[in-house]
Copies of this chain bind each other. A is one copy, B any other.
Amino acid sequence: MKIKYEKIKGEKDTKARLGLIHTNYGTVKTPMFMPVGTQATVKTLSPEELKAINSGVILSNTYHLWLRPGEDIVDRAGGLHKFMNYDGPILTDSGGFQVFSLADKKNISEEGVIFKSHINGEKLFLTPEKSIEIQNKLDSDIAMSFDECIPYPADYDYAKKSTERTLRWAKRGKEAHKNENQSLFGIVQGGEYADLREWSAKETVKLDFDGYSIGGTSVGEDKKTMYKMIDDAIKYLPEDKPRYLMGVGDPIDILEGVERGVDMFDCVLPTRIARHGNAFTRNGKINLKNAKFKEDFSPIEEECDCYACKHYSKAYIRHLIVANETFGQRLLSIHNLRFLIKLTEDIRESIKEDNYLEFKNNFISKYNNK
Contacts and interface: CB of A to CB of B under 8 A. Distances in A.
Nearest to A42: B327
B44 A327 contact: yes
A320 B41 contact: yes
B39 A323 contact: yes
Most chain B C-beta atoms within 10 Å of own C-beta, residue among A64, A322, A323: A323
Interface stretch (A137-145, A311-319, A352-360): A311-319
Interface in A71-108: 73, 76-78, 83-85
Contacts of A2: none
A329 interface: yes
B311 A43 contact: no
A80 B318 CA distance: 15
A297 interface: yes
Interface string A16-56: 00000000000000000000000111011110000000000
B325 A326 contact: no
Contacts of A284: none
A297 B76 contact: yes
Given A73-B295, A295-B73, A68 B326 contact: no
A316 B76 contact: no
A77 B41 contact: no
For this chain, the copies found in one complex come to 2
Interface in A311-349: 311-313, 315-316, 318-320, 322-323, 325-330
B325 A85 contact: no
Contacts of A294: 69, 73
Nearest to A322: B68
A41 B325 CA distance: 8
A328 B46 CA distance: 10
A164 B288 CA distance: 46
A43 B328 CA distance: 10
Contacts of A68: 319, 322-323
Contacts of A46: 327, 330
A69 to B, nearest CB: 4
Interface string A122-141: 00000000000000000000
Top 6 A-B residue pairs of the complex, sorted by shortest distance between their CB atoms: A69-B319, A41-B327, A39-B323, A85-B311, A44-B326, A41-B325
29 contacts: A39-B319, A39-B325, A40-B316, A41-B320, A41-B325, A43-B326, A44-B327, A44-B330, A45-B327, A46-B327, A64-B323, A68-B319, A68-B323, A69-B294, A69-B318, A73-B295, A73-B315, A76-B295, A76-B297, A77-B297, A77-B315, A78-B297, A83-B313, A83-B315, A83-B316, A85-B312, A326-B326, A326-B329, A326-B330
